[in-house]
């Protein structure tokens, strides 16, 4: 969000001070403040206590009901609802309460009570205006939709992310949004979970106007004077009031949705399409079915695991909420990873100097950064500022000024040693030295430094702008202060720091490699690459291991697999000779246009349309070695607990989120069944499937 001309909290405090006794809040209320200004306009301010952002808990809605009753009695000219939080209007429902709702009947009862409050707002006989700044998501947007008018402060973002939790809007969004704007646009917004920035929201008819913070009060007066037209309304709404028209559109929606998610894995978007197709245009019927459908989904395994994944994300995010003075990052190595790390840091507000021995590599990295800024920053000023922060550094002079230095050079020990020695000689003594190594032990790299306490692993994943996880790798000589600084750095660039210990491949690559290598073994046996990928997708992976290997880069896969083979010989099969041959020929995957698949000009793999069906054993051959390795990492202390492990695998590899992570899946399937299946595969295919000793400990825990 852009910096406001005057902080929201200061504006509200000034207003309430000016009102005197009339502006005093009800002492029995914690989260809302109600005041009436000199123009007889009621200002209802949401400021949830004890939280950095507003969410709609049961208590917040109960208090809202009381405030609406108070407004009815005071007879104001209009009601304005806004937030006192600088972060935004409201982030949606309080997801913590989802865990307390058991059966669908219980959830349905709570939802009906919540709907009654929102309906009361909708039914007020005075003009109601939502002033939206920052994030306005989920239940927060449903609150705003119940108002007659919505004014968005420039920089606001509006959306319905419920689909990410295995749900659809449950507080009136399905019928209010589809009746307000083009129903197809409304459904697309809810089905994808994508947010609309303020100007796009205005174009859609979701908000009446986009304003600056300093103009809020004048805009409210203009609305009440009838000088700002009410947004919304579309001729398409009339067209789609007929079920045959909705049926045609619904078929297209199902087809598009099926390209991204399978109904068996992610039922929520399909239930939302059913809801609209069956009841679109009938708000009462949609409301009733919305409540029933949301309640059923909330009790389902998919939503429970996706809600779990949400809290796993928050747990990692909390690691980065430590204070550190980080303003300048120096990145050495402008290749695919280093250049993209630099671009992301600049996008997130840090000053970045990027250096490389090859000026062409820096130029290419700046070009990729431009594409990132163009796609992800909606303001030309924001794009210009991001470019200003990303400084091509041909001389390497930024090293001496940086708070954080990251080496992202070739994954070869001797090259990294040379770079790290240069960093130690030229960097500030209090600068964090980060290495983006994907597999080399930190103890090995630390030998190049006179003070190893400053070295921390900062293992980003490709593509940097989309993969949220960063493995923060500790070793026996690292200082606590530098680990905290590494976590703070991840937080500053909106990444999820996952603490792991130095070990071969760390956590993610060590667990991912057996999955990829087993896919290579299946190729050796003559199974088509499309069938192998389909097996993984049937399990719920976002993409199959063959396509993933191409995306990671076959050179990286070979390097990591070779290292793990040397370090952990008993658990790794022989690496196929053809993989080495492909790497030597420069067929490295997507980045070279050819790997295990061929790639078109848009970077999409060329796949055979018809594939053989994958059986359960093939899925187990792919997935169980990964899960078995996760248990090894847990037993060896590479990762501290199951939650961190599951979070790292979901956000670092895309492990089927609806399954809640590898260890969650193992618990739901049953550890004894995991062991039996691994034993059966070991007898048939070799010792690489031998169950890890950690399963015996976990089975004993479960039995106890």
The DSSP line for 480-517 is HHHHHHHHHHHHHTT-EEEEEE--TTTTHHHHHHHHHH
Q: According to DSSP H, which parts of 300-429 are helical?
A: 301-319, 336-347, 359-376, 380-389, 413-426
Nearest residue to 294 via CA among 89, 101, 526: 101
Catalytic site residue 537? no
Is 407 an active-site residue?
no
C-alpha gyration radius of the chain = 27
SS3 613: coil
Assigned token pair, 288: 């009733």
| Encoded tokens for 85 | 């939080």
| 459 among known catalytic residues | yes
| Closest listed residue to residue 265, CA positions, set 161, 164, 166, 160 | 166
Degrees to nearest 5, angle at CA 569 with 565 and 575? 40
Quick check: helix, strand or coil at residue 149?
strand
- Nearest of 626, 648, 621 to residue 499 by alpha carbon: 648
Provide CB contacts within 8 A for 700, sequence distance 6+.
none
Is the C-alpha dihedral spanning 505, 508, 509, 512 positive or negative?
positive
Residue of 303, 319, 509, 677 with catalytic role = 509
Three-state SS at 209 = strand
Tell me the CA distances in angstroms from 231 to 28, 70, 177, one per residue in order: 36, 28, 12
Determine which one of 16, 63, 471, 547 is catalytic.
Answer: 471
* Strands 32-36, 41-46: pairing kind: antiparallel
Neighbouring C-alpha atoms within 13 Å toward the C-beta of 205:
18
Catalytic entry in 459, 502, 547, 628: 459
The dihedral sign for the CA sequence 138, 490, 197, 77: positive
Q: DSSP state, 475?
A: -
Catalytic residue among 35, 54, 57, 438: 438
- Is residue 438 annotated as a catalytic residue, yes or no? yes
The DSSP symbol for 598 reads B
What is the number of other CB atoms lying within 10 angstroms of the CB of residue 275?
Answer: 23
Nearest residue to 54 (alpha-carbon basis) of 111, 130, 167: 130
**At what angle are helices 183-192 and 243-260 packed, to 10 degrees?**
30
Rounded CA-CA distance 48/60 in Å is 8
What DSSP string describes 16-66? Answer: HHHHGGGGPPPTT-SSEEEEE-TTSEEEEEE--TT-SS--B-HHHHHHHHH
ω into residue 463 within 30 of 0, thus cis?
A: yes
Catalytic residues: 438, 459, 471, 509
């Amino acid at each position: 969000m852009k910096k406001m001309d005057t902080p929201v909290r200061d504006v509200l405090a000034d207003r309430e001070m000016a009102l005197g006794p009339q502006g005093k809040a009800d002492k029995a209320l914690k989260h809302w403040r109600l005041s009436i200004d000199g123009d007889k306009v009621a200002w209802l301010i949401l400021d949830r206590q004890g939280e950095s952002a507003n969410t709609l808990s049961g208590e917040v809605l109960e208090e809202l009901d009381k405030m609406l009753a108070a407004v009815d009695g005071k007879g104001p000219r209009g009601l304005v609802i806004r937030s006192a939080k600088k972060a935004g209007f409201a982030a949606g429902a309080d997801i913590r309460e989802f865990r307390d709702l058991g059966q669908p009947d219980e959830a349905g009862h709570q939802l009906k009570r919540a709907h009654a409050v929102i309906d009361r707002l909708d039914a007020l006989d005075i003009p109601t205006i939502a002033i939206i700044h920052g994030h306005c998501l989920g239940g927060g947007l449903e609150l705003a939709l119940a108002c007659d008018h919505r004014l968005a402060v420039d920089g606001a973002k509006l959306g319905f992310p419920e689909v990410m939790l295995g749900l659809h809007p449950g507080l009136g969004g399905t019928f209010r949004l589809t009746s307000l704007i083009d129903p197809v646009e409304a459904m697309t917004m809810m089905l994808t979970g994508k947010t609309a920035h303020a100007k796009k929201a205005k174009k859609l008819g979701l908000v009446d106007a986009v304003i600056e913070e300093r103009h809020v009060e004048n805009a409210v007066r203009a609305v009440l004077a009838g000088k700002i037209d009410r947004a919304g309304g579309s001729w398409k709404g009339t067209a789609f009031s007929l079920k045959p028209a909705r049926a045609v559109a619904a078929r297209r929606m199902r087809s598009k949705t099926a390209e991204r998610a399978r109904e068996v894995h992610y039922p929520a978007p399909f239930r939302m399409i059913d809801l609209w197709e069956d009841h679109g245009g009938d708000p009462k019927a949609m409301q009733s079915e919305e409540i029933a459908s949301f309640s059923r989904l909330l009790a389902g395994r998919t939503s429970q695991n996706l809600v779990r994944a949400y809290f796993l994300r928050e747990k990692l995010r909390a690691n980065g909420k430590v204070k550190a003075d980080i303003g300048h990052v120096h990145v050495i190595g402008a290749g695919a990873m280093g250049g993209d790390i630099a671009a992301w840091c600049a996008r997130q507000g840090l000053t970045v100097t990027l250096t490389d021995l090859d000026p062409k590599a820096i130029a290419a990295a700046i070009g990729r950064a431009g594409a990132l800024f163009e796609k992800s920053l909606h303001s030309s000023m924001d794009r210009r500022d991001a470019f200003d922060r990303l400084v091509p550094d041909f001389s390497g002079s930024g090293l001496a000024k940086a708070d954080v230095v990251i080496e992202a050079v070739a994954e070869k020990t001797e090259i990294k040693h040379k770079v790290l020695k240069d960093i130690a000689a030229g960097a500030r003594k209090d600068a964090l030295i980060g290495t983006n190594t994907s597999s080399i032990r930190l103890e090995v790299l630390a030998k190049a430094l006179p003070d190893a306490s400053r070295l921390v692993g900062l293992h980003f994943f490709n593509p940097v702008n989309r993969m949220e996880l960063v493995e923060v790798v500790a070793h026996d000589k690292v200082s606590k202060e530098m680990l905290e600084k590494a976590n703070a750095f991840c937080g500053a660039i909106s990444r999820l720091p996952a603490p792991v210990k130095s070990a071969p491949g760390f956590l993610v690559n060590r667990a991912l490699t057996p999955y990829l290598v087993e896919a290579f073994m299946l190729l050796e046996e003559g199974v088509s690459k499309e069938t192998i990928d389909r097996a993984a997708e049937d399990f719920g992976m976002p993409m199959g291991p063959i396509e993933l290997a191409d995306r990671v880069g076959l050179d990286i896969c070979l390097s990591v697999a070779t290292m793990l083979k040397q370090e952990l010989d008993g658990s790794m099969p022989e690496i196929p000779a053809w993989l080495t041959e492909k790497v030597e020929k420069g067929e490295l995957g997507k980045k070279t246009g050819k790997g295990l698949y061929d790639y078109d000009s848009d970077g999409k793999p060329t796949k055979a349309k018809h594939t053989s069906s994958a059986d359960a054993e093939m899925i187990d051959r792919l997935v169980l070695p990964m899960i078995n390795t996760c248990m090894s990492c847990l037993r060896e202390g590479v990762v501290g607990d199951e939650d961190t492990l599951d979070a790292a695998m979901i956000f670092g590899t895309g492990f089927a989120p609806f399954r809640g992570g590898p260890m969650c899946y193992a618990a739901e399937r049953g550890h004894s069944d995991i062991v039996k299946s691994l034993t059966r595969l070991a007898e048939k295919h070799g010792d690489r499937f031998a169950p890890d000793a950690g399963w015996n400990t976990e089975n004993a825990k479960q039995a106890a």
